[in-house]
Amino acid sequence: MDILNLLLQGVSVSIIPANLLSCIIGVLIGTLVGVLPGIDTVSAIALLLPFSYGMDSTAALIMFAGIYYGSKYGGSTTSILINVPGEAASVVTCLDGYPMGQKGRAGAALAISAIGSFIAGTIGLIGLTLLAPPLAQAALAFGPPEYFSLALVGLILLSKLTGTSTLKSALMAVIGIILSTIGLDSLSGISRFTFGIDELDRGFDLSIIAMGLFGIGEILTAMTHADAKPDIPTVKFRDLYPTKEEWQRSITPMFRGGIVGFLVGLLPGPAATISSFISYGLEKRCSKHPEEFGHGAIEGVAGPESANNSAISATMIPLMSLGLPFCGATAILLSGFMIHGITPGPSLITERPELFWGLIASMYIGNVLLLIINLPLIGVFVQLLKTPLNILMPLVAVVTLTGAYSINNSIFDLIWVIFFGILGFLLQRVGFEPSPLIIGLVLGPELERGLTQGLIICNGDIWAFITRPLAATILSLGAIVILYNFVTWVTKLNNKRKELNVN
């Protein structure tokens, strides 16, 4: 009952005209980001950080959250219409969404995707509403060893779950930690690795690195790939009605996707993408028509598209209740909180309840807005897709560079944006996922603070970390993951040897 009252108070905050307008702008930008394949959620939020300086903090955060969950709504549009995922989380939607489009059912696929996103997004939000406050309450008992354990296990799980090589992801995360050590050490006040350059004293700005890795990196990728312009079908509003059979086959996958997405979203890593793949596999296994998968099965659109939206709400739980971001987009959202002087974490709910509940309530409103806005505007989005990338990308490049400059009014920052842009482009070419680097950069200071303060508290006894029940539970989870990785690696190696011996 208490939660309901607080949520109602949150609604009263989120329906203030300025906040409502921010929500509408956020979800619209988010949908556009999802629709346009060359622009990523992380870089879009990073790009818009300077625009929020003059805004009220609640309105700014409502807008950023809107971009985050809105982008997952729009991601399916290009997957269904042109077989190009607008977002990584919509890759799997191409498998059945595009074949549906080829059969003339693009409208139905888009409608099912939007309705599924709404239903699962609401499931995720209910989970967020119920879980975030008790977790924040529990986190008040966390000391430095617990925070260290959480950050460490978060990084271990992240390396396992990025979808690329575990080794590469782990290396990226460690490089992120290394970058976080550059600048003034908050514990001792000593400048580290700055080589007398004053500009480096403040360390690397998260948004600068994100704009480089994701923004300029994406621009370089888009501009150096010569892709043929795809044929985009025209979708009219009347085409959006699914048939009775399509409805019946979609309802259960939507709810199942919502639950799967929420559970996966609680884990570190690109939860939206992983949950969509898990949901697709699950739907294929549960379906009465598994042979239709890959040829336009509606369950293959309903399940994954629902899962990725539910996962988004779940990823907000560790950010808002613990202050720890476990994926690239929440890391950049944290940056948004920080520039407005707000530290997410256990104290947020007690010190700024209006912001905490206002943000959650705005997500419910945004979810409804997305459903209302998205379906009638499908035609507009289709037209937008026809914008040539050779016009769009140079404009995005100038906005990114100007946005990066405006953060500290520094040309030095632009040099870093370009450097990280080139690095991001090259890394993606050779299969390194840049997200763990961003997470490492964010979690690095937390990890260092937790480790050094924890060791001081425990008088240098590293084993004392394990005797603390909470830290021990978290650390054992990390140990299980490492052990599992090791056993899998040894088994694979043995199997390879056996195969070679047989041959």
Partner 1 sequence: MIEKIISLLFLIGSLTYLYWAQEFTFGALNSPKSGFLPNLAGITALLLSSLLIFRQFRFKKTTNKEAVNWTKFLFILIGLIFYLMILTIVGYFVASFLFLFYLFKVADTSGWRVPLAISFCGSAAFYLLFSYYLKVALP
In the complex, the residues that contact partner 1 under the rule CB under 8 A are 50-51, 53-54, 167-168, 170-171, 174-175, 177-178, 181, 185, 187-188, 190, 192-193, 216, 220, 223-226, 388-391, 393-395, 397-399, 401-402, 405-406, 409, 411, 414-415, 418, 421-422, 425-427, 429-432, 444, 447-448, 451-452, 455-456, 459-462
Write down the least CB distance from residue 187 to partner 1, Å. Answer: 7
Write down the least CB distance from residue 384 to partner 1, Å. Answer: 16
Q: Which is nearer to partner 1, 197 or 368 (CB)?
A: 197
Q: Which is nearer to partner 1, 113 or 435 (CB)?
A: 435
Q: Which is nearer to partner 1, 140 or 167 (CB)?
A: 167
List Cβ neighbours of 471 (8 Å cut-off, separation of 6 or more): 145, 146, 148, 149, 465
Question: Residue 223: what are its φ and ψ, rounded to 5°?
Answer: -80, -20
Alpha carbons 248 and 253: distance in angstroms, whole number: 10
List Cβ neighbours of 308 (8 Å cut-off, separation of 6 or more): 72, 75, 87, 89, 90, 117, 261, 272, 273, 275, 276
55 three-class SS: coil
Write down the least CB distance from residue 69 to partner 1, Å. Answer: 25
Q: Which is nearer to partner 1, 53 or 237 (CB)?
A: 53
Cα 56 to Cα 64, 151, 178, 345, 477: the distances in Å are 12, 30, 34, 20, 40
Write down the least CB distance from residue 181 to partner 1, Å. Answer: 5
Write down the least CB distance from residue 482 to partner 1, Å. Answer: 13
Closest listed residue to residue 449, CA positions, set 102, 180, 61: 180
Q: Which is nearer to partner 1, 122 or 335 (CB)?
A: 335
Closest listed residue to residue 439, CA positions, set 91, 113, 174, 81: 174
Write down the least CB distance from residue 91 to partner 1, Å. Answer: 15
Alpha carbons 365 and 357: distance in angstroms, whole number: 12
Q: Which is nearer to partner 1, 175 or 382 (CB)?
A: 175
Q: Which is nearer to partner 1, 272 or 427 (CB)?
A: 427
Write down the least CB distance from residue 241 to partner 1, Å. Answer: 37
Alpha carbons 480 and 488: distance in angstroms, whole number: 12
Cα 82 to Cα 14, 75, 79, 286: the distances in Å are 36, 12, 6, 28
Write down the least CB distance from residue 445 to partner 1, Å. Answer: 9
Cβ atoms 283, 300 nearer than 8 A: yes
Q: Which is nearer to partner 1, 1 or 189 (CB)?
A: 189
Burial class (CB in 10 A: 0-12, 13-18, 19+), 102: middle
Q: Which is nearer to partner 1, 73 or 416 (CB)?
A: 416
Cα dihedral sign for 435, 437, 438, 440?
positive
Write down the least CB distance from residue 451 to partner 1, Å. Answer: 7
Alpha carbons 449 and 152: distance in angstroms, whole number: 12
